[in-house]
Amino acid sequence: MKTKVHPDFIKASNLIFVSAALGIISVLIAGKDLSDARVASALIMVTGITCATAHLIRRGVEWVRYFFMASVVIGTLLAPFIWGINIKTASEIIIYIIQGILQIWAFILLFKARSTGYIPDSNLPESQQ
């Protein structure tokens, strides 16, 4: 039987997947050397963790919301330092800002979903839930 997941969790998951895709696009647009092991491993690790987080949120795993919350808070606090070190072009800045907005939006959806007290209607047939 499938676990019923709040629709806002699905929306948040989609936003996180889009954010991960934008991260890959940013690296490609910036023309970073993917043959460099540090660049390639960082891209794989960050994208993998982001996609795994989005997947677990989509499945309704409760603790991942708090992991994502910590990631968003740390990322927001470190943003000024990252901009000064890693970001060189205007397109990277724009993508980084869009990623931040998407992640904060996903964060809001995840914690708003819990506050609404979502309870699926168990009397409906599974095809209508």
pLDDT at res. 57: 93
Low-confidence ranges of the chain (pLDDT < 70): 1-3, 82-87, 113-129
Q: pLDDT over 90 for what percent of the chain?
A: 36
The confidence score (pLDDT) of residue 129 equals 47
pTM of the predicted model, to two decimals? 0.79
Contact 92, 30 (CB under 8 A): yes
pLDDT of residue 116: 56
Q: Mind listing the pLDDT tens digit for each residue in 46-75?
A: 999 999 999 999 998 888 989 999 998 898
Where are the extended beta strands (E) located within 1-129?
none
| C-alpha distances in Å from residue 35, one per residue of 20, 21, 49, 114 | 20, 20, 21, 43
Domain boundaries, the chain: 7-114
Residue 109: other Cβ atoms inside 10 A: 20
Q: Judge residue 4's burial from the number of C-beta atoms within 10 Å of its C-beta, 0-12 exposed, 13-18 middle, 19 or more buried.
A: middle
Q: What is the pLDDT of residue 31?
A: 79
Distance between CA 64 and CA 66 in Å, rounded?
5
pLDDT value, residue 118? 52
